Amino acid sequence: MRGVGGAVASPFRLVFGGAWRATFGTRRSLSIVVTLTIVAFAVGFASNYWLPQRLGYTLLFGLILAGFWTWSSGQGVRVRMSRSRDRVQAGESIVERFEVINDSAIPKLWLEVEEASDLPGHTAQFVTSLGRTSHRNWRVQTTCHRRGLYNLGPITVRSSDPFDIFSREMRFGHRRGLVVYPRALELPRYSAPPANLPGEGRFRRRTHYVTPNASGIRDYEPGDSVNRIHWKSSLRTGSLKVKTFELDPASHLWVILDLSSQDHIGTGDDATIETAVTVAASVVRLFINQNRSVGLMMFGERLDVIEPDRGSQHFGRMLESLAVAQAVGTVPVASILYQQSRRWGRHTTVIVVTGSTDPRWQGAIRTLTQRGVKAAVAMIDLESWGGRSGAAATAVELRALGVQVNLIRKGDHIPAVMVGQIPGGGRASGVALSADSSTNGTIGGGAAPAAQASMEMEEVLAEVDWSNGDDAVESASEETPVQ
């Protein structure tokens, strides 16, 4: 009998319970008031006594008044939001400005405004009251500490009556992405082994970039940068002369980031993957600022390869990939080096960022160096994070192969330990990377300020006004406030 009763009651609850929740929600105060109203009318009409009947009419009138109050509180409400940027680096802040507008002649009391977000540390919640045809503004500044891809929005406005019997919820706008790039630190004393470029002059071609290869001079033209002026020639000829440059397309630098889950430990900001990503981003920034051709390769959920290129836009693409990189890979770094070795020749420098102590990838490095590929390694010491040992011994073996190694431990200041080292512990000269710094007008060794590569990233100032489906970007179902 219990089974039959449950089978009969289930469709009843499904139909009437769903209709009740869609109309009145699941608010306990509403259920209590409705129950008291029904009981008062039942007792009053059954006993023909005036007091329960009047109590029932009073409660019914209160329900109607509360429902009208809640409905009118959402009429004529608009929301505006603007954000300073949609792309920031970890440690930087975003600024959001909110404006809630009441276009109706009915005052709005006790409006709760909240922006949904999965960004750590982001809180945008307000409670306000609006007079007739008035508005209120807020400014929220959030510091983005952790790299990643996050969503902000939509904005929810809730209203209710003074007794919290009814509630109305309206959503404005849609989810919008925020990319937090990893930290890219300055590495003023880091230099990778220079690639072998015999006869490179035959491969040079002219370029509008400022490179270490100054090829000649020409007359000054409006729009030329001041740092390209060759002052000695200008004084000698009596007219302004600017330097021309050549691009060497054969010299590439690859950064290989190990995302294998077995080579990383820790969680949150203290995880080894965060240190590895910071090192990779800092190395990329250094050589992009030196106008080197830089590529990026990593294998997490899939193989992610960004071919070598120059410029701030290319730098931004690599930072976007590094922003979402996670140590979830199942392919060891040795397999990546063996399988992708055909990409690298004698005119290539490969920098590997890894915490692996597997001797197989050391064999892959040996194979590359025998083919003339220059290699450098940024070794994450997992033992300092409480993991397996062997990083120091691996570093010694790699240096014996002629590979430049930088050993990074937990708590180390990355720019201090990322100093170019030759096998045996001496400091690398890095002549090929910084000898012509006086010619190209940049600071050698990566001392160029962060603005050189990061300030050119697109800064988005987006302002959206949501009112009765005015958002032209999304479909009609997303533009109209949800009643």
pLDDT over 80 (residue 246): no
Domain 77-182+459-479 identical in fold to domain 248-449: no
Question: pLDDT at position 191, please?
Answer: 87
Architecture of the domain made up of 248-449: 3-Layer(aba) Sandwich (3.40)
Looking at the chain, the whole-number percentage of residues with pLDDT higher than 70 is: 76
Least confident of 30-34, 352-356, 380-384: 30-34
pLDDT over 60 (residue 238): yes
CB neighbours of 353 closer than 8 A, spacing ≥ 6?
255, 256, 257, 258, 276, 279, 280, 283, 377, 378, 380
Domain boundaries, the chain: 2-73, 77-182+459-479, 214-247, 248-449
Long-range contacts of 452-457 (CB under 8 A, 24+ apart): 452/289, 453/184, 453/285, 453/288, 453/289, 453/312, 453/315, 454/89, 454/184, 454/285, 454/312, 454/315, 456/312, 456/313, 457/87, 457/312, 457/315, 457/316
pLDDT in tens, 90-135: 999 999 999 999 999 889 988 999 999 999 989 899 899 999 889 9
pLDDT in tens, 128-137: 999 988 999 9
What's the topology of domain 77-182+459-479? Immunoglobulin-like (2.60.40)
And the tokens for 287? 């050589």
Question: pLDDT at position 9, please?
Answer: 41
pLDDT over 80 (residue 262): yes
